[in-house]
Amino acid sequence: MGRLRDRMVLLPGLVYDRHAYGKGPGRDPELLVRGVEPPSDLEKKGMQLFDDVEEEIFHHKMTSVVEEAREVYQALSISEGIITGDMNASIFTSEGDPAVVATGIYFHTLLNYAQAKYILKYYRPDPTVGLRDGDIFFFNDPTCGGVHTFDMFVTAPIFYEDLLVGWAEVGGHQGECGSISPGGFSPTATTRWEEGLHVHALRIGEHWQLRRDIFDFFLNSVRNPFVFAADLKARVATCKRIRDRVMRECQRRGPVAVMGGLRRILDTSAKLARKRLSLVPDGIYRAILFNDGVGTDEGLVRVPTTVIKEEDHMTVLVQGVSPENFKGPQHSTWHLVKASTGVYLFTYFFRGLAPNIGLLEPVEFLVEGPSIANCTEEVAHGEGTTIAAMVVQNLHVIGSKMLFSSPENLGVCAPFSRNVFINVYAGTNIYGYRTANFTGPQNGGGQGARFDMDGEHGCGFFWASVTDIGEVEESDTRLPLVTLARTTDKDFHGFGKYRGGTPCMEVSMAPPAGCLVTTRGASDRLSHNPGLFGGYAGPPNPRFIIQDTNLVELMQNSDPRLVFRQYELAKDHVIAGRYRFESSSQPTEPFQHGDVFVYSVGGGGGYGDVLERDPEAVMEDVRTNVLSIEMARDLYGVVFDPATLSVDTEATVTRRQAMRVERLQKGKPFAEFMEEWSQSQPSPEILKYYGDWPEPRVKGYRKPFWGLYDDPTPRRE
Amino acid sequence: MQYRIGIDVGGTFTDVVVQGPEGLVRAKADSTPYNLTVGVQRAATLAADALGMTYDGLVRQAETVVYSTTVGTNALIERKGPRLGLITTTGFEDTLWLGRGRNWADGLSPEQRRDRGRARRPSPLIPRELIVGLHERLDPAGNILMPLREEEVVDKVRYLVDQGVRGFVVVLLYSYVNPVHEHMVADVIRKEYPETYLGHMPVYLSSQVAPQMGEYRRTVTTILDAYLRELTENHLLDLSDHLRELNYQGPVLLAKCTGGVSSPSRTRPIELYGSGPVASIVSASELSRWLGAPNLLVTDMGGTSFDVGIVVEGTPLQYDYDPLIERWRVQLPVVPHWSIGAGGGSIAQVVDGRPKVGPQSAGANPGPACYRRGGTAPTVTDADLVLGYLNPEFFLGGRLPLDPTSAEAAIANHVAKPLGLTVEEAAWAVKSLVDGTMGQEIYRITALNSGYDPREFTLLCLGGAGPVHVTGYSGYADVRQAVVLPIGSVGGAFGTLALDVLQTYEKTVHQVIFRPDFERIEGDAMTNLNAQIEELVQLARRDLEEERFVAGEMAMSLDILLRFGQQRHFLPITAGSLGFREEGELQKVASEFVRLYAATYGEESTFVDAGIEVIGLRLHARKVLPKPVITVSPSRDRSRSLPPRRAYWGPGVGWISTPVWYGPALEAETVVQGPALVEYPDTVVVVSPGWQLSVTENGAGWLQHLGRR
């Protein structure tokens, strides 16, 4: 570690480099923080059998195997999450590290490895359990290495004769898990005991056969046994497919070569990551985000992120975080924060390198705990992704700044949309099946603007590179709702020289039989979609429901005033009813035929100054209905004919110049701003979950959070 | 009237195969994108020369012309189609634009799909301002929730006309269940713009073009059909007029990606897309009998891509689910084929200190460095030349001299130096990488789609670059034997002559056969399904009568698309008859589904307790046509044995003087042991160490690996 990192001061009494909880039955956090295991003697021997070309070919083969597995898993599953891409399929090294992954969701790539390690360490030598070819293990407990209880996985050892050469693992977001709310997400949960099944690493089958008694236990523990059973079978079938393919490669290359090849892939990734890091300027980089609620209640909490980059190493420090609370499920874990950063790092920072855990070898993660980012085990974890994603968004802003003056600057862009919002619909679908799950528009987030172009509209899920919002004609037969629209929306993205993309906005109504809806979300008032270099943030998105409506009648009359877009619904109130704009963390509630639900995951952040945006691009946004006339005129400073949308170029230049002058008049020196700003403080009601103000973990410390680095002996009272 | 002419217009070459009393003749000419008919004429003239005839005479004496064309490819890439308006259900105007959130990645390589930061959607075929929504809505059962008002249709249509549209695409939600509103829209447009007057504009209804569930795919399918229609029609009329002027009396049949041919009046424009590779695969099913090899992996390695198809037990693999046309996800029963960015023109480079090959290609222009057409990037062809596999003076029969110095320089500068290797080691690395990639992609494709063991397959090697690499990629594909054919370089054109007349009709239905946990067949399942099947049969009969086929000439068969309850994935099961007379027949289809599912995904994956549902029907009407026959006799235009050449066979063997044979002069039962090079006018068969080539009477060259794998 270098001189910059030496300036870092960690607070006494808090943990940073490990979990805020300790060992327990089926759980050993030490296995989670260990990183990639050193190669075994056999792996070392196998690694010698490869040169660069053969490694490339072997890597391609293993990638083909997991890509195939991903297709099979998605094809055989029923859950909306799996079908639309919230899943992954992996091959692990014999020591339990994920070497080759098809995803899906990037954080799954970096999670759920400790279970295999746990089995190796504790169960394999134990005569009451052991480990044999054909064993099937199931797990979903977040404290053992996962995300939340509704992400369910199966892993199976791959034995070649008696030699353990690796592991096959398959899983994803299944939904319903027996928690207090149907469908998985339970925004009112305050402890883990309200979040349904918690299975650490349980052998549920042998010789590739599921045990009937355990199978029945699972089916009896959830509300939709039919979906649970189908998806579990899909996971087992997919694991077996991976195992068969790896076995064949063992026959071709020899098992030792396969073991060595898998391990070598990780080493190569680590080398390439170090090389990439060495191209980026050294420095200390910072970003911060705030959340406006904790699940069951509103209130301010804080998640800052600092990156210390020196030579070929990087430290990600998440410090000065609000303390944990028992008021909701928005609590992350050390391993979830680490894994979540893969979403940014793999796609943008390490762009072009094969995604696996090896890329994180040169990155150190320090996550302050106990806190909402690194919590203890008893608290509810179900929406820990909300907090982890804030770290990711911070890292995205930081990473773009780091890459800006590096040769890898094609990755510079504003963050992808992450104003999380999910409606879980429960009830009976049109074919009479009981079901509880979400629809696809969470996979249609707005992309952040790039340094050289706009973000795409509705372009995937925050956590994954390629996901699918599906098609309404299909999803309306699976879930109890009538989808009225999937559209872009007006003024619902980050403005800038290049604008962010708008999300896919879904408007739906409860069917004749009604339905139950549970909503989970965050960023109702404060956006988690920051802009970059002067670009605006994507807007926050609270829950929007219209209840007790006359919509059915309006539809029967084909009322031409009906426009199923958030902008017009909220502005024009054509539909009569009770308009509810509220927190997106809401418990399960019944709704009647004609009640309207509006949701999206928000638009991507903008890049650069709005006054530098090409006026013709502004007009194109108006023409395509994603920007209002008012914003084009007042924010972008474009002078144009509203009827023809033709730009008055000269008048636009003049108007923009005047706007710049106005800005300068409003501006003030930084020190002056800080003097005023430091005197401000939110009300105690808003700060009740925040910790001490302004520095949550250091009472009376009045400097901004980065002051920790200026003060070698911070106090903690 | 004794000749059958098969034509395959590709991006680079136009291939022609003529089957006549003299046997099979093949020819190849450059494609002419400015007027495809010119390239056809040139290639056919070469074929006629080989038969000692004139082009006119050949056409006059032809009984059939079968045509596979890429006419739509450029129109799509260059967005040269007509200005269309899209009329859809209000709330779904952005469906095309949003593209299921995933369409930015459709049609891209895995590496490109990971690069979300640089994602760019294909520009839509219909701009947003030409998309309008109607206040109308049905539910999934086809019941009307929001009735359509005629006056709104008139307003929206007039708006689109004012914007200058030249045709209307109509895609309303659930029109595949109940097309009543789409028909209303069509009626209004026809009333406003009657067919008898100038200004008449075509209307394309999704319920007619693609009556299947899935509003995005149905929209894209209907738009593509409309977008390509005018251009395709014009081209086919030009070709047809040209042939008629030469006194051609027979039919012009069009090869389709659905695996058959049909007359232009029964062919949809999008069915022409990818018809060449599909023709190769379908003809391979015929060849499988001729070769005595029922399971074939059909590979075609050209300049820019490597196409793969599968024949199982003499039949092409079942139709693809959600196939892609360019970067668009469509609903079309395409014979599955996969295209990988690996070919002779694939560019080698070093990225982050690691060697990579493809998917970028130098194409034919500028082409590999050794072409000396301005290309400096090293390609697979350059590596093949450096390794001594290609004869610089006999490439394409001597028509294109190659420059070894340029190839060496390109490999040295861009691969060898950055990796610290010698030039031959670098070239070997390029060959190994491309062989590994292609071979393992074959493995993935075989396994992914069928669960079959590639070791049970023979690899059929087509394409100009295929024989150079086949012994390389076969190993990675886990295949034990491969076969090269005299017609290998014109596989698509040959394939067109092997196609039958085929019409396929599809329909989404939803019918539960077994409910979860219930063992009895649903009471109304048989009656409902029979009614739906009858609708398709009537549709097919109407078409056949209009085509003047005699009853009995066409055979119909029915696929039932089944899934376990609520699953998205389905498997097609061929029914024994066009309807069910007793429950036992329905039970049999369901049992076959469970058996096939278990065979494909494993016994542990089946879940009968979930119930079994029918989600679609697919009816095929087929008329069998004569098949081409390959006949060859040894050529005497060059000597059998040619001077040996130095070739590099990897670090274990190094450079050795390698025997060279002239392929067309090899008699039946000749066996060539590797390492050896067997030259043909249009390719070289590289027989690697450990392999042997055996020539059979029918001219096929069988490559077998002698060692254990």
Judge if ipTM > 0.85.
yes
* B140-192 pLDDT, tens digit each: 999 999 999 999 999 999 999 999 999 999 999 999 999 999 999 999 999 98
Cβ contact B133:B52 at 8 Å = no
CA–CA dist B128, B117 (Å, integer) = 24
Rounded CA gap, B278 and B280, in Å?
5
Distances from the Cα of B659 to the Cα of B72, B315, B675, B685, B708, angstroms:
45, 38, 7, 12, 24
A695 DSSP assignment: S
Of residues A131 and B333, the one with the higher pLDDT is A131
Q: Which of A487, A600, A590, A507 is nearest to A551 (CA)?
A: A507
Q: CB-CB: which of B91, B478, B607 is closest to A229?
A: B607
With an 8 Å Cβ cutoff, is B452 touching chain A?
no
Residue in the structure block whose two tokens are 């064949």 = A248
Of B119, B136, B173, the CB nearest to A447: B119
List CB contacts (< 8 A) between B90 and chain A: 485, 562-564
Residue pLDDT, tens place only, A218-261: 999 998 888 899 999 999 999 999 999 999 899 989 999 999 99
Percent of chain B with pLDDT over 70: 96
Assess B128–A contact: CB distance below 8 Å, yes or no. yes
What average pLDDT does the segment A49-76 reach?
Answer: 88
Q: Is B116 on the interface with A (CB under 8 A)?
A: yes
Pairwise CA distance, residues A253 & A262, whole Å: 12
Residue B289 to residues B20, B215, B283, B286, B560: CA-CA distances in angstroms? 21, 41, 10, 6, 27
For domain B3-75+232-272, is the CATH number 3.40.50.620? no
- The mean pLDDT of B344-371, rounded to a whole number, is 85
- Are A35 and A22 in contact by the 8 Å Cβ rule? The answer is no
pLDDT the model gives residue B318: 73
How many C-beta neighbours within 10 Å does residue A133 have?
Answer: 17
Task: Locate A319 and state its tokens.
Answer: 């410090």
Across A436-445, B30-39, B496-505, the highest mean pLDDT is recorded for B496-505
Does A657 score more than 90 pLDDT? yes
What's the pLDDT tens digit per position in A525-545? 999 999 999 999 999 989 999
Which among A57, A453, A564 has the least Cβ separation from residue B432?
A57
DSSP-derived secondary structure for B225-276: HHHHHHHHHHHHHHHHHHHHHTT--S-EEEE-TTSSEE-GGG--GGGGTTHH
Q: Kindly identify which residue of chain B lies nearest to residue A488, measuring between CA atoms.
A: B94
Q: Which amino acid type is present at position A22? A: G
CA of B304 to nearest chain A CA: how many angstroms apart? Answer: 20
Q: Read off the pLDDT of residues B629-662 as tens digits, 9 standing for 90 and up.
A: 887 666 666 678 899 999 999 998 999 999 999 9
Burial of A280 by CB count in 10 Å (0-12 exposed, 13-18 middle, 19+ buried)?
buried
Q: Which of A51, A52, A53 to mutate to test the interface with B (most CBs of B within 10 A)?
A: A53
Q: Which residues of A touch B568 (CB under 8 A)?
A: 74-75, 77-78, 83, 474
The 8-class DSSP code of residue A449 comes to P
The mean pLDDT of A617-630, rounded to a whole number, is: 96
Asked if A105 and A463 count as a contact pair (C-beta separation under 8 A), the reply is: yes
Supply the mean pLDDT for chain A. Answer: 93
Q: Encoding tokens for residue B649? A: 């066979």
A416 and A450 Cβ atoms separated by less than 8 Å: no
Peptide bond before B359: cis, by omega within 30 degrees of 0?
A: yes
Contact of A197 with A43, CB cutoff 8 Å: no
Burial of residue B202 (CB within 10 Å: 0-12, 13-18, 19+) is middle
User: Do the Cβ atoms of B116 and A447 come within 8 Å?
Assistant: yes
Structure-token match 């549709």, residue found: B539
**pTM, rounded to two decimals:** 0.91
Q: Taking 80 as the threshold, does the pLDDT of residue B518 lie above it?
A: no
Name every chain B residue with its beta carbon within 8 A of the beta carbon of A77: 567-568
B709–A252: do the CB atoms touch at under 8 Å? yes
Q: Where are the beta strands (DSSP E) in A238-282?
A: none
Using the Cβ of B137 and the Cβ atoms of chain A, whether some distance falls under 8 Å is answered with yes
Q: Which residues of B touch A413 (CB under 8 A)?
A: 117
The pairs formed by A402-409 with CB atoms below 8 angstroms and a separation of 24 or more are A402/A280, A402/A281, A402/A283, A402/A285, A402/A307, A402/A309, A402/A349, A403/A280, A403/A348, A403/A349, A404/A451, A405/A281, A406/A279, A406/A280, A406/A281, A407/A279, A408/A276, A408/A279, A408/A280, A408/A349, A408/A351, A409/A451
What residue type is A370 in one-letter code? P
Under 8 Å between Cβ of A301 and A349: no
pLDDT value of position B42: 92
Between B377 and B80, residue with greater pLDDT: B377
Is the CATH code 3.30.420.190 the one for domain B275-500+627-640?
yes
Contact list, A624 vs chain B (CB under 8 Å): 128-129
Q: Kindly state the percentage of chain B with pLDDT values over 90.
A: 57
pLDDT the model gives residue A717 = 43
Q: Which of B213, B437, B604 sits opposite A237 (nearest CB)?
A: B604
> Would you place residue B481 in the very low, low, confident or very high pLDDT band (cuts 50, 70, 90)?
very high
Would you state the structure tokens that stand for residue B240, as one six-digit string?
């047809």
CB pairs under 8 A between A and B: 255
CB distance from A109 to chain B under 8 Å?
A: no
- In this prediction, residue B636 carries a pLDDT of 67
The C-alpha atoms of residue A17 and residue A14 are separated, in whole angstroms, by: 10
Domain boundaries, chain A: 1-34+279-411, 44-179+196-275, 413-615
Angle at A572 between CA A570 and CA A573, to 5 degrees: 70
Question: Could you tell me if A422 and A183 are in contact, meaning their C-beta atoms sit under 8 angstroms apart?
Answer: no
Q: Taking residues A511-528, what's their average pLDDT?
A: 94
User: Among A328, A303, A445, A435, which residue's Cα sits nearest to residue A379?
Assistant: A328
Side chain identity, residue B214: G
C-alpha span between B64 and A588 (Å, rounded): 68
CB–CB of A348 and B117 under 8 A? yes
Amino acid at A434: R
Sheet holding A283-293, edge to edge: A283-293, A298-310, A313-318, A363-367
Listed in sequence order, the residues at least 6 apart from B261 whose beta carbon sits closer than 8 Å to its beta carbon are: B66, B253, B254, B255, B496, B499, B500, B501, B502, B625
Q: Rounded to an integer, what distance in angstroms lies between the CA atom of residue B80 and that of residue A357?
A: 46
Contact call for residues B330 and B217 (beta carbons, < 8 A): yes
Segment A110-130 mean pLDDT: 95
- Domain residue ranges in chain B: 3-75+232-272, 81-225, 275-500+627-640, 502-623, 641-705
Cα of B211 vs its chain's centroid, Å: 22
Q: Which of A374-388, A533-547, B451-465, B531-545 has the lowest mean pLDDT?
A: B451-465
Q: Do domains B3-75+232-272 and B275-500+627-640 have the same CATH topology?
A: yes
From B24's Cα to the closest Cα of chain A, the distance in A is 39
Is pLDDT above 90 for B479? no
The chain-wide mean pLDDT, for chain B, equals 89
- Quick check: B447 contacting A, CB < 8 Å? yes
Would you state the pLDDT for residue B256?
Answer: 95
Q: Which of residues 240-299 of B touch A (CB under 8 A)?
A: none
Q: What is the pLDDT of residue B91?
A: 98
Q: In this predicted structure, what is the pLDDT of residue A128?
A: 96
Nearest to A115 by CA among A131, A100, A102, A127: A131
A131 touching chain B per CB within 8 A? no
Please check the confidence at residue B581 and state whether its pLDDT lies above 80: yes
pLDDT of B500 reads: 93
Cβ separation B91–A53 shorter than 8 A: no
Pairing of strands B671-673, B683-687: unpaired
Which among A465, A472, A477 has the least Cβ separation from residue B113? A465
